[in-house]
Structure 1
């Protein structure tokens, strides 16, 4: 057994020859140099590794000596405790806070009916409620078994190193922060990416794309992004717009630009050599995913395939996927990645803003990579390299913030930085499944994901339309799938009549009002790795009753959402963590540390705010323009009126923030002797286009039924009581700051 120490609380334990796979250097971009010793020590007892803290307490131990076989495989067994549960292993729809069970880590294309046993993104990394993370440094498919009766968590791998990294921390947040420091933290999204997106499925024509955008504008429903789905291009995958659908792509980009909407394109990693019309026809019959009139089109990219094959850029020459067969590209090949991005460049120059990476789960076992990986090693990693190549290719072209939106990911993919949770149906079972998958990913440092509004396909009812939108419109990225009316007329924001349309509008507007808050959470993820959406057990540690809750989430530190996940429900039970809580809609005080049955009308999401935490909001925009500035802000606070927030600002579009071009403003509240003191510090730092003045409104929310009053207005601020809320509004010069004292009557 070999041990190596990293930082103060990381230790790597190796029972075979250590892994020297190329992917380690690509994933661990911030791993510190090895140390002779850390804050933990490792000893061996009966062939098992035991890790102890400075006080001698066992923090982690193997339950059995490793079993190595003649074929190069192994089995590791870790000791578990009765109260212990585990999070992570990638994007799992069917399990959260595991205490028992068996599962296999092998990325698979996972349509809705298969998500009970497989998933798109599998990562051999878990976090224990006891305060450690374990990352198996072997990318091959692995089988895991958690036996709660024996107290053993075991893993079997057919080949490769028995090599794993442990990270310990005083808190679970500290572990997530340490892990993301070593594997990379998510960059800031372009600001517009926090707006609403839409994808037409199957893809419709240029005129209909533009008409859908204009319908949003006519109906006053916000929109910031359009993703063109399969069939936007002539052939898979020649990067050329299909003339029968998009005869004038330059005009398309300009028409969308005029409406302040950005264009995204779906990618597949295949260069097709075979059409397979029978498979295409069967799939189209089942899911209606081919535009009318294109059923028999020749979609082979024979020229691109031959170029890539001759140059050695293919990981596999003949792999199958939804729309045919062909060469699956090798994104570990630097020259190949440059070739791919050179074909992508004209699209980016045209004005395409981002790319959706689909179909990264099909790599056959007999594939090879330029990095020396076998097909089994490469399979689970494929989505990581797919995203890495395209994101870095975008960065090479200009200073815009790159945006890759992927279906399959791996450790480190949080750097590229967004993903979607695959293909769901608009059912309550799938609503619950997306919550589990999202929380599992949050534990592993992923901040930017979306559970598609209404799922991929399937008819909504008025109830599922409203309930699905209530949750998904507040996820970090929000995108809905629209179907042609002849296929399904229940998947538009305005489907199902006035109540459903008004409900969608309400939560879309709330999303845009929360833009400054989401921006703050994005900065927090970039600075220290804390995910935007947080499991309750991550935000409130040491509360056993919160460990297994997978149908309530924290949106940052201030907001808790409790989506209704059962059909026909007019109420739901909500567990309130310790502290002071208030109903976001009514300001009703809620009891911390208790379980309460709350009302939940069909058009209302149970949403709660945490006392003593700033919630910064803004106007309800219909789009987020390139010149958007945070020059109008509302700072909401519920008792106790003691809070501090660092608000960072930047240009919202470029990577200048990575070069230090941003500002920081501290906003504080303190209560002393019947007075609430509010302070805004002068901005520190600068960026191009920063506002000279911000219109700031402070709203102190007292419990429902209160009638707060102030003795006198502070200079420069207009103060008024609005029911149980005090509002103080005024202009604040960014280089001067402000101090406001409210003397309560």
Structure 2
């Protein structure tokens, strides 16, 4: 029944075939078809199948990681190497494109990209269809299932094992995580094939790493774009933008990025600049650049229907636009009025679109913001293009919008990213998108669309961002302060505290709402928001090193507690706390008027970030949290590099203080490069691993240079948890440690005897 093929294995029933391919020892693909070759993968998958050592015995494939048992109906049971069951099919239906699996040992389900839900999705259902959410409902809420992204990846978890399933299908897709009592887990789609990947490991972090091997990880971002970003719909003219820039510097608020929304364009026509409101655009950009700001402008995919408008005319002449079901160019409506939509399925169209950014790049624009790219269309009830609209691929094959819709935003991002790489080959692009598919993290950061200035949206931003991180999307964030409606000073203060510990840190608000720049609510709110923006800049060496790790191994920056405490089931449904990297626990205040909150500390020793107090975990505590205090805890063993406050990222860090919290063993990799170019791909970077070993009697803190081809700043070690010591040696010489801190060289060995 099981035959070996040049790509893996194939099984045949009376009606269809099951193709089994390995993409790693712990990653296996199950693809069903009605022919003798596996279906084509979507653009999400960039990993390649490999040949592994496996033995076929009857209807079982045995590898080092799995035993895969296949019955006569091509249903699958998967066991680990010890014989423990990991997954069991209940039913396979090719006609309905549906897989049903038994609910087994899973205590939680996670991932699925951007979903307005609590962290643990067990007992819920959802579906994926990229949607301009506030086009169809006035506010984001949990009863609305489809959001701006379609990432068909979920994780099943318990204390000693974990798996991920990626369903590689671009059609509208549906997922049920045991919603009803005694029900199963299932996933399905309205078209396409049953084609999914099963990723197994005992640890959730390795499952996420496996998923990003399949679909790619974020590129290393320009360092400045990890700083604070300020946006509004709209800074309506050059004077207003310059006013905001000057006020930022006057107030001493660190800020690196300013945005222009759609009003910078002439009549909302993409790739144009309003010559009256933004006269001498290049001079304006140069002026804010001299103040340390980088400019991002919005680019929507809808092209205004207007004769003699160069983008419309070029696309029309080359037949670049999506067609309706009758073969005529589809005309919808967005901000410029009647609009057509580029068919990004074709590489020629993507290349053309990327090249259109040249004038803006030549004018000094350093980032681009892809909005409305579900794509949005004001003329239909669904607020997107009809599903029978027609695309054409590079081979001339016609594809329905039903198949391509969820890919559209990612295809636009690919064209934009590659175009920017061609226009500026040695400058890292910054691209921000609203719509995404699995794998879009390879091209763009993501923000979670048009949220509202309500406390509930602040609260739900935490599990949304955690599940996005588990779905391979590390560079994520929501609009700080909320987009729709009026923020209050208290809400902005608390949201800024969260934003300072979110990978994408952008304040953004809507037309006809109160302004919510940090100075808009009085001196107390200004001081509060400024405090946490400054803290963000102090933490940039830590954050940039985390971003480097994410770009290599796919680990999220913002992590649920179970990412590091999987053995503690109390962490499985904690939606209101998260880990920022592996070192810091962030516990925001998410209710109006609250001045204290309950904090869960997993087992082990913890340090209060503000006071240095030691606390034994494995319990809940109450932490006082007045309006200017965000509860933060450092794990014992935490290694936290910080630097001095700057107004913007400009060159290299001159000094790095390495805060080390004693009590556990740990290592952290510190990464340095120029922050803007791709020279690190030519080995022009440095990496220093700092480690602590603590056996209660002696503490050994050391560093090693893993790579030394870029300037390394001076280091100062700051120690926590050492009340007294009897002897200290630095690189073999006896020293005295004053106030628990000392200067050290980039390569050092510090021994402290208690």
Question: How does the TM-score come out when normalised to structure 1?
Answer: 0.88
Report the CA distance shift for 1:411/1:209 in structure 2 as closer, same or farther (over 3 A): same
Report the CA distance shift for 1:96/1:683 in structure 2 as closer, same or farther (over 3 A): closer
The alignment yields a C-alpha RMSD, in angstroms, of 2.4
Match of 1:81, SS? coil
Which residues of structure 2 form unaligned runs of 5+? 1-16, 55-62, 324-329, 376-383
Alpha-carbon distance in 1 for matches of 2:233, 2:545: 33
Match of 2:263, SS? coil
- Residue 348 of structure 1 pairs with residue 376 of structure 2: no
1:313 matched residue in structure 2: 320
- Residue 453 of structure 1 pairs with residue 480 of structure 2: yes
Q: CA deviation at 1:20?
A: 6.9
Match of 1:15, SS? strand
Contact 2:41 2:168 in 1 (8 A): no
1:292 matched residue in structure 2: none
Q: CA deviation at 1:80?
A: 0.9
1:127 matched residue in structure 2: 155
Q: CA deviation at 1:61?
A: 0.9
Report the CA distance shift for 1:388/1:152 in structure 2 as closer, same or farther (over 3 A): same
1:80-118 CA distance string (max 9 Å, x none): 136532112220013431122232211101136144313
1:298-341 CA distance string (max 9 Å, x none): xx885422321331211242133355331111222111122112
Q: CA deviation at 1:583?
A: 0.9
Which residues of structure 1 form unaligned runs of 5+? 275-299
Q: Which of these residues, 314, 335, 351, is aligned with residue 348 of structure 2? A: 335
2:422 matched residue in structure 1: 396
Q: CA deviation at 1:144?
A: 2.6
Q: Which of these residues, 395, 400, 414, is aligned with residue 441 of structure 2? A: 414
Q: Which of these residues, 715, 721, 733, is aligned with residue 696 of structure 1? A: 715
Contact 2:489 2:525 in 1 (8 A): yes
Report the CA distance shift for 1:175/1:642 in structure 2 as closer, same or farther (over 3 A): closer
1:286 matched residue in structure 2: none
- Of stretches 251-260 and 346-355 in structure 1, the one that deviates more from structure 2 is 346-355
Q: CA deviation at 1:55?
A: 2.4
Q: CA deviation at 1:239?
A: 0.8
1:12-68 CA distance string (max 9 Å, x none): 2233348977662x32222233557443232234733211222222210112x2234
Alpha-carbon distance in 1 for matches of 2:391, 2:498: 40
2:648 matched residue in structure 1: 623
Q: Which of these residues, 509, 521, 524, is aligned with residue 546 of structure 2? A: 521
Alpha-carbon distance in 2 for matches of 1:267, 1:245: 18
1:728 matched residue in structure 2: 742
Match of 2:241, SS? helix
Q: How many residues align?
A: 696
- Of stretches 385-394 and 54-63 in structure 1, the one that deviates more from structure 2 is 54-63
Contact 2:234 2:260 in 1 (8 A): no
- Of stretches 220-229 and 595-604 in structure 1, the one that deviates more from structure 2 is 595-604
Q: CA deviation at 1:438?
A: 0.6
- Residue 100 of structure 1 pairs with residue 109 of structure 2: no
The 5-angstrom pairing of residues 64-143 of structure 1 reads: 65-69=91-95, 73-81=96-104, 83-111=106-134, 113-116=139-142, 117=144, 118-130=146-158, 131-143=162-174
Alpha-carbon distance in 1 for matches of 2:242, 2:627: 32
Contact 1:666 1:681 in 2 (8 A): yes
1:321-370 CA distance string (max 9 Å, x none): 35533111122211112211222112112221110010111352123333
Alpha-carbon distance in 2 for matches of 1:20, 1:346: 44
Report the CA distance shift for 1:695/1:67 in structure 2 as closer, same or farther (over 3 A): closer
1:444-486 CA distance string (max 9 Å, x none): 11111122210113222232121111111221111112578xx
Q: CA deviation at 1:537?
A: 1.5
1:357 matched residue in structure 2: 370
Q: Which of these residues, 4, 18, 21, is aligned with residue 2 of structure 1? A: 18
Q: CA deviation at 1:718?
A: 8.6
Match of 2:547, SS? helix
Report the CA distance shift for 1:631/1:50 in structure 2 as closer, same or farther (over 3 A): same
Report the CA distance shift for 1:470/1:4 in structure 2 as closer, same or farther (over 3 A): same
- Residue 12 of structure 1 pairs with residue 29 of structure 2: yes
1:573 matched residue in structure 2: 598
Alpha-carbon distance in 1 for matches of 2:234, 2:700: 56
Match of 2:207, SS? helix
Q: CA deviation at 1:567?
A: 2.0
Q: CA deviation at 1:686?
A: 1.0
2:388 matched residue in structure 1: 366
1:600 matched residue in structure 2: 625
1:645 matched residue in structure 2: 668
Contact 1:237 1:269 in 2 (8 A): no
Alpha-carbon distance in 1 for matches of 2:665, 2:81: 36
1:501-537 CA distance string (max 9 Å, x none): 1110110011000000001101111221111111112
Report the CA distance shift for 1:20/1:454 in structure 2 as closer, same or farther (over 3 A): farther
Q: CA deviation at 1:173?
A: 0.8
- Residue 171 of structure 1 pairs with residue 171 of structure 2: no
The 5-angstrom pairing of residues 523-672 of structure 1 reads: 523-625=548-650, 628-640=651-663, 642-671=665-694
Report the CA distance shift for 1:717/1:518 in structure 2 as closer, same or farther (over 3 A): farther
Alpha-carbon distance in 2 for matches of 1:315, 1:671: 63
Question: How does the TM-score come out when normalised to structure 2?
Answer: 0.87
- Residue 270 of structure 1 pairs with residue 302 of structure 2: yes
1:381 matched residue in structure 2: 407
Report the CA distance shift for 1:156/1:186 in structure 2 as closer, same or farther (over 3 A): closer
Match of 1:231, SS? helix
Contact 1:717 1:728 in 2 (8 A): no
